[in-house]
Amino acid sequence: MKWTRDDGYVVTDERKRLDLSRTQRWLSEESYWAKGRSLDDLKKSIEYSVVLGCYSPADEQVGFARWITDTVTFAWLCDVFVDEGDRSKGLGKFLVGSALQHPAVLDVRRLVLGTRDAHGLYRQFGFEAIPEPARWMERRNAAFYTERPEGGSV
């Protein structure tokens, strides 16, 4: 799939176009949610996800997002990132809007995401606070953060 803006920016799900080292640097060094994520972990997460890259008119990757989904009942939008030098151009909105039009999630019953600071962006697309947050639970693998094998994320 491919979405194009009038100014030449493109969002596509073409995996071969992804600049993995750039994406890994963004997530591991510049995001608050994926600090230290290794290239190997990024590759593995991409393998099991619907991934989207955002590209400038010069064909440079400037953004990334991915869906974790079963394509029927649940989809989690995560790792949404726009390069700092390309922010304030509406690319986050373009990336999220394109992601929501991806065929893998068009008919999914429940779409979720987590954010610390971009609530305004996601509200524009119909996301809202979970009405019954007490229903939701999580289980974290504490060892993931402290006992990763050589080359893994910390």
Instruction: Work out the mean pLDDT of the chain and round it to a whole number.
Output: 92
Q: What share of the chain is helix, strand, coil (3-state, %, to 5)?
A: 30, 20, 45
Range of the domain at 128: 2-146
Q: What is the pLDDT of residues 74-121, one digit of tens each?
A: 999 999 999 999 999 999 999 999 999 999 999 999 999 999 999 999
CATH number for the domain spanning 24: value is 3.40.630.30
Residue 138 pLDDT grade (very low, low, confident, very high; cuts 50, 70, 90):
confident
For residue 147, pLDDT over 70 is answered with no
Per-residue pLDDT at 5: 97
Q: Is residue 153 part of a domain?
A: no
Q: Is residue 34 part of a domain?
A: yes
For residue 142, pLDDT over 80 is answered with no
Q: Is residue 38 part of a domain?
A: yes
**Cβ pair 102, 66 in contact under 8 A:** no
Q: Is residue 97 part of a domain?
A: yes
Per-residue pLDDT at 141: 79
Q: Let me know how long the chain is.
A: 154
Closest CA to 109 of 74, 67, 133: 74
Q: What is the pLDDT of residues 13-60, one digit of tens each?
A: 999 999 999 999 999 999 999 998 999 999 999 999 999 999 999 999
Q: Is residue 56 part of a domain?
A: yes
Q: What is the DSSP string of 132-149?
A: -GGG------HHHHH-PP
Q: Is residue 154 part of a domain?
A: no
Number of domains observed in the structure of the chain: 1
Per-residue pLDDT at 153: 47
The reported pTM is 0.87
For residue 154, pLDDT over 80 is answered with no
